Structure 1
Amino acid sequence: MNSYKKYFFPVIFFTVTILFSIIGFNPAEVVIIGPEFHEQEYFIEELDIISENLDIKIKYKAVNDPENYIIENKELNASIALIPNPQGVTNLAERGHLYNLNSLIVEDSLLNKIYPEHLTDIVTLNNDIYAGWTRLFPNSLIWYDISKFKEYDDLNFQNFDSLISSTKKIADTGVTPWCANSESSASTGWIQTNWLEDIILSKNGPEVYDRWSQLSIQASNIKIFSSIKIIDDFIFYPNHIHNGPGSIISKEFRNLPKVLLDESNSCFLSWSGHYFRYYIPDEYAYGEDYGVIKLPKITLDNTVVGIGDAVVLIEDNQIARNVISEILSSNFGEKWSGYPDTEFISANKYFNREIINNELTQYEFDIVHASLQQDLFRYDASEVMARPIGSNLLWKFFVNFIREGSESIVQLLNELDREI
């Protein structure tokens, strides 16, 4: 019996000690929910680096619609979310699903020291900031076929007016210079809202642009009307658009790079955003087969309209806040940026662009950050304004306008005003 006690109690002691050691050293797990997206595997690699640095586990859970997922699920088992538009951020904040990030410190700075005023304003509700930005993408781009482009030495990119004047002269010779396929099922018209936003911002400046985003200016206002007239001239000038204006709303936008790079087509320019990259066939190379330039200015230079990914806090604890601080830091994305196919454009103004291992992404980074420095980067207005307008009625406006022609502008704008 004494022998039994002699061995029993030490065994129990060591067993309990080992169990408590295992439990005690089991690292905390942080779950991040967000959409499934291009280069997601690189994003997860960055999370793995944070996991190692903070000695925790981080899991990324992709869902179809993060905003609705948060609203509809009471038991989220997640602390952080990626929300791909500012409207989703303020909607969630208004419903009480988010915690503010007013006091969040990122590399010794508050959020309003990392981003220009606009980027914090659009994720602010009742003076509380509810998100930081990890990535940004530019919309304000013109893509071109290099071999076709070289045939036109007289193209003038000094400003938007000189460019359109040059392409009109090309159209007069019988060559259609612009590829503009934009059909996108029920969402057809969204690309034209991008065109409108580019024009409003460069022509009228950020104050008018912000009023348009907030729908505090009517669609029939002369500044909006004159901006749409520029699009009208672009679309309906004879022979300006490949396959005619009707192709804009009848030909699928994902095929646009193929159309542009097809030698049998004369069109060689496309007014398209960052998304154009996703659909370029693998056999074509940047700098050899195709190139890109920022949309030339109308009045203001360095204006860029774009989109991005917001990071929000849905369960308030210090570990989750530490993870968000790391995601928003100037170090996040360094490994991602080292891949030859990287498309990562950090929103952090202190990010080192020299580590970006992709010439096209470097160019996009440069124009985005030039605009950020002057607070001339503006988020896609249709993603900021009320959804029934920005994600429905504006699209329908452009579809009807292209279908019915120039004479319909005034009537359609008045109808839009009644909805606003």
Structure 2
Amino acid sequence: MPKFPNPRTTIAATLSLVLLTGGCAYLSGGGGSAGADPDSPECEPYAQWQDIGGSVSIYASIRDEEAERLRRSWQKFIDCTGIDIQYEGSGEFEAQVQVKVDGGNAPDIAFFPQPGLLERFAASGDLVAAPESVQQLAEEGWSQDWLDYATIDGTLYATPLGANFKSFVWYSPTFFADNGYEVPQTWDELIELSDTIADDGVKPWCAGLESGDATGWPATDWIENVILRENGPEVYDQWVNHEIPFNDAKIAAAFDRADEILRNPDYVNGGFGNVQSIAITSFQEAGLPILDGECGMYLMGSFYAAQWPEGTEVSETGDVYAFNLPPINPEQGTPVMGGGEFVGAFSDRPEVVAVREYLATAEYANNRAAEGAWFSAHQGLDLEILEVPTDRLGAEILRDPDTVFRFDGSDLMPAEVGAGTFWRGMVNWINGEDTDATLDYIENSWSS
């Protein structure tokens, strides 16, 4: 839900976008490239897709440096096959992909971060089911748990792409060591540490919810992580599947526990302002005050490794590192909440199928992992490629038999809730709305 021995790793924030406008990054995958000799050894892994040609459009929410890493990860495929990939990354993906489809301008391929949104397009008949060749690669590459997220009424519509670990608490080992702080092992220790940091004159937490049309989602990660830790996977699953209402007392209790941190003026928002500043602080910038000692910790996914400025040392003794948000009841195992993207298609042209096949291979997973700040649940991924220490940390935790893993709850809910009222409700809640009113608002939006 998650990337990771190189004791020192520099995260480069260089960006070479062809065009950046309106929150969208438009990236050509290789137009104008001289290509590569298709008979050369370096092109051997791509031999099956040669002589197809054409151009394939991909639309996703991945932007900035992450988008540039994507472009590099499939460049060799482009050079060796002649199939061009035109990539567009947008901060308004969740809303705009529907606009594109309704307007007859659907992308060939979309990377869906929410299985609930994927299911909506499958139900409407817009998505193309995975052809047999893609399905075979999917079954070879991923566990059934992952494939189930992209299977609707028995039909596989998409394949997993990246995975991310969404229970990371980013911090500065240097800052901790200088002040005698230790990484907490339980929730109670986390609160004790937060109190200590606050008493020392530093806001223990930084946070940010702004993300374009997707504003609010970082706060849903808080709630999901707390519900999983406070109630265990059974109640978590019941909540996600609406077998218990959103305004159930167990969910309200989880909001109250999150309230102790997110709406505590003594705890937030380091480097930016008061509690309300969280709603207008971008999630990309929210964790950066850690580097200046203006806040102590930041709950954010493993993908945040790509956001640290050039020259930042990511390691257990460096500028930044991460730990798993501690359990509330350690006897229940190690709770982990994660997410990922799924490759769905609105077209079945041969070149589109070819790109879908390539993205479902271990070859692609290893090429993307080599670019850094990324992890996949693909069983063929070579973990030795993962140079970012937090990536390896996440991989180790996910492979631990004591880990209790669940996919991001809002991503599994119907899109109008998970990517709609839940996001908006969390913004209202951060801005001071009563918890009961927030829960009722979300519950009333959920169709029976």
Given the two structures, how large is their TM-score scaled by the length of structure 2?
A: 0.73
Q: Among 171, 174, 182, which residue is 1:155 paired with?
A: 182
Q: Could you tell me how far apart the structure 2 residues matched to 1:281 and 1:361 are? A: 17
Q: Could you tell me how far apart the structure 2 residues matched to 1:374 and 1:129 are? A: 29
Shift of 1:132: 0.7
Unaligned runs of 5+ in 2: 1-49
* Aligned counterpart, 1:309: 341
Q: Could you tell me how far apart the structure 1 residues matched to 2:328 and 2:420 are? A: 27
Q: Residue 205 of structure 1: SS of its match in structure 2?
A: helix
User: Per chain length, whose mean CA-contact separation is higher, i.e. which structure has more relative contact order (CA < 8 Å, sep 6+)?
Assistant: 2
Label 1:167 to 1:393 Cα distance change in 2 as closer, same or farther (>3 A). same
Q: Among 55, 59, 63, which residue is 1:34 paired with?
A: 59
Label 1:111 to 1:225 Cα distance change in 2 as closer, same or farther (>3 A). same
**Residues 247, 439 of structure 2: 8 Å contact kept:** yes
Q: Could you tell me how far apart the structure 2 residues matched to 1:284 and 1:156 are? A: 20
Q: Give CA-to-partner distance per residue, 1:211-231, whole Å, 9 cap, x none.
A: 323333212212211211110
* Aligned counterpart, 2:321: 291
Residue 61 in structure 1 maps to residue 86 in structure 2? yes
**Residues 171, 322 of structure 2: 8 Å contact kept:** yes
One-letter amino acid matched to 1:132: T
Q: Could you tell me how far apart the structure 2 residues matched to 1:77 and 1:232 are? A: 40
* Aligned counterpart, 1:123: 150
One-letter amino acid matched to 1:89: L
Q: Among 116, 120, 123, which residue is 1:91 paired with?
A: 120
Residue 214 in structure 1 maps to residue 241 in structure 2? yes
Shift of 1:239: 1.9
Q: Give CA-to-partner distance per residue, 1:142-163, whole Å, 9 cap, x none.
A: 1112332114435352122321
Q: Could you tell me how far apart the structure 1 residues matched to 2:126 and 2:436 are? A: 42
Q: Among 350, 353, 356, which residue is 2:386 paired with?
A: 356
**Residues 34, 60 of structure 1: 8 Å contact kept:** no
Percent identity over the alignment? 24
One-letter amino acid matched to 2:115: P
Larger Rg, first or second structure (1 or 2)? 1
Q: Could you tell me how far apart the structure 1 residues matched to 2:421 and 2:107 are? A: 36
One-letter amino acid matched to 1:137: N
Residue 167 in structure 1 maps to residue 187 in structure 2? no
Q: Give CA-to-partner distance per residue, 1:179-216, whole Å, 9 cap, x none.
A: 22444566543221110111122332333223323333
Q: Could you tell me how far apart the structure 2 residues matched to 1:149 and 1:281 are? A: 20
Q: CA RMSD in A?
A: 3.3
**Residues 193, 395 of structure 1: 8 Å contact kept:** yes
Shift of 1:46: 4.2
**Residues 71, 92 of structure 1: 8 Å contact kept:** no
One-letter amino acid matched to 1:307: G
Unaligned runs of 5+ in 1: 1-24
Q: Among 313, 329, 335, which residue is 2:361 paired with?
A: 329
Q: Could you tell me how far apart the structure 1 residues matched to 2:102 and 2:439 are? A: 36
**Residues 261, 268 of structure 1: 8 Å contact kept:** no
Work out the number of aligned pairs and report it.
383
Shift of 1:290: 1.5
Q: Could you tell me how far apart the structure 2 residues matched to 1:34 and 1:226 are? A: 38
Shift of 1:50: 4.1
**Residues 246, 403 of structure 1: 8 Å contact kept:** yes
Label 1:199 to 1:232 Cα distance change in 2 as closer, same or farther (>3 A). same
Q: Could you tell me how far apart the structure 2 residues matched to 1:81 and 1:250 are? A: 28
Please identify, of 68-77 and 283-292, the stretch whose mean Cα deviation from structure 2 is larger.
68-77
Q: Give CA-to-partner distance per residue, 1:26-75, whole Å, 9 cap, x none.
A: 544362422363444443444354467xx743221224548337624658
Q: Could you tell me how far apart the structure 1 residues matched to 2:212 and 2:349 are? A: 42
Mapping for residues 382-401 of structure 1, pairs under 5 Å: 382-401=410-429
**Residues 202, 296 of structure 2: 8 Å contact kept:** no
Q: Residue 136 of structure 1: SS of its match in structure 2?
A: strand
**Residues 59, 107 of structure 2: 8 Å contact kept:** no
* Aligned counterpart, 1:338: 370
